[in-house]
Amino acid sequence: MTIATSVPTTTSAAPVAAPPARFRDVLAAEWIKMRSLRSTPWTIALTTLFVIGSAVAAAVADYNNLAGSHTSLRQPPDFLPFDAFPPSGYMTLMLVAGSMGAITVVSEYSSGLIRTTTVAVPARGTVVLAKAVVTAGVWTVVGTVVSIGSFLVSQAILDGRHAGVSITHPGVFRGLAASALLAPVCALVGLGLGVLIRHSAATMVTSAFTLLMLPTLFEQSKRWSADVNHAMLITVWRRLVQNWQPDPTSRMYTATVTGSWIVYAVWPLAAVVLAVVVVRRRDV
């Protein structure tokens, strides 16, 4: 007699798919990546000190120029409040912000970490948007600290000659806002270039050329050339921080305040949208 024995069959459990990463999780991951770079805090600190130091140097120069004046300044000249926004300092801020924005992308491509990122988060557009949000947030804070710090320090120095002004002085708030937003705008432009080029050296050179050198190729005495010049970030920043009205008798075409704010909005928006489109269509 045979005894039938039942052999238990083992069934392999189907793998459970992990839930897709939430956007806030991707944001947290990008924040960790940024702050884990040792160069990030040092670069931000040194850039902040340099820009504020440039404002101090400009204010001290005007302080000394006013030393020989024995008359009391009841109404400070319009140019004095804008010692807080020296071109040398803010051009450096543009260069650094653009480079750091590019590093958030090209560093992953150079190290190969981008493959791990895309495996963890297949939605590449979401990754780019998360990088853009973190980059914009960090550099908005930096720009705000630099802008307000430069203004307060420079006006404290000029107060020694009774030439300091408050934030309610005509044009000052606009200059503060434009200078604070200059850093995140340039950082997002750098991020977009990083996605397009994906090579560290080439991206840095392209960013510096686009932000600082390209506008010098277009003069403002011809209409078409002036229009191109007015579409550049360095030009619109200068227009927004200057407290003067265009001279109608001048042969130079000047940018408008409204047009300058539009340019401020278009550059980062175009950079991020183009980056999202490219990263979705191209292999890692």
* C-alpha–C-alpha distance, residues 99 and 208, integer Å: 8
Residues composing the chain: 284
Task: Scan for tokens 């200068």, then name that residue.
Answer: 238
| Residue 17 counted as domain residue | no
Q: Mean pLDDT throughout 165-173?
A: 84
* C-alpha–C-alpha distance, residues 158 and 9, integer Å: 87
Q: Are 86 and 57 in contact (CB under 8 A)?
A: yes
The boundaries of the domain holding residue 90 are 23-65+76-281
User: What pLDDT sits at residue 34?
Assistant: 85
Could you tell me the end-to-end alpha-carbon distance of the chain, in angstroms, rounded to an integer? 67
| Residue 7 counted as domain residue | no
| Residue 52 counted as domain residue | yes
Q: Are 180 and 87 in contact (CB under 8 A)?
A: no
Residue 244 DSSP code = -
* C-alpha–C-alpha distance, residues 63 and 161, integer Å: 7
Q: Mean pLDDT throughout 112-137?
A: 85
* C-alpha–C-alpha distance, residues 263 and 227, integer Å: 11
Which tens digit of pLDDT belongs to each residue from 204-229? 999 999 999 999 898 888 888 988 99
Q: Mean pLDDT throughout 37-46?
A: 89
Closest by Cα among 225, 214, 217 to 94: 214
Picking from 6-10, 33-37, 63-67, which range would have the lowest pLDDT averaged per residue?
6-10
Task: Scan for tokens 């040092």, then name that residue.
Answer: 42
Residue 77 — very low, low, confident or very high, per pLDDT cuts 50/70/90? low
Residue 220 DSSP code = S
Q: What percent of the chain has pLDDT over 90?
A: 43
| Residue 2 counted as domain residue | no
The structural domain count of the chain equals 1
Which tops the pLDDT comparison, 237 or 65?
Answer: 237
Which tens digit of pLDDT belongs to each residue from 2-32? 555 555 554 555 444 556 667 888 888 888 8
Which tops the pLDDT comparison, 123 or 150?
Answer: 150
Q: How many CA atoms lie within 13 A of 216 on its CB side?
A: 5
Q: Are 124 and 35 in contact (CB under 8 A)?
A: no
Q: Are 188 and 268 in contact (CB under 8 A)?
A: yes
| Residue 15 counted as domain residue | no
| Residue 97 counted as domain residue | yes
| Residue 6 counted as domain residue | no
Helix runs in the chain, H state only: 23-36, 39-65, 87-111, 113-120, 124-158, 172-197, 200-208, 223-230, 233-241, 257-281
Picking from 103-107, 111-115, 170-174, which range would have the lowest pLDDT averaged per residue?
111-115
User: CB under 8 Å to 178, separation ≥6 — which residues?
Assistant: 236, 237, 240, 241, 260, 264
In the chain, what's the furthest Cα-to-Cα distance? 126
| Residue 70 counted as domain residue | no
User: CB under 8 Å to 187, separation ≥6 — which residues?
Assistant: 97, 98, 100, 101, 135, 136, 138, 139
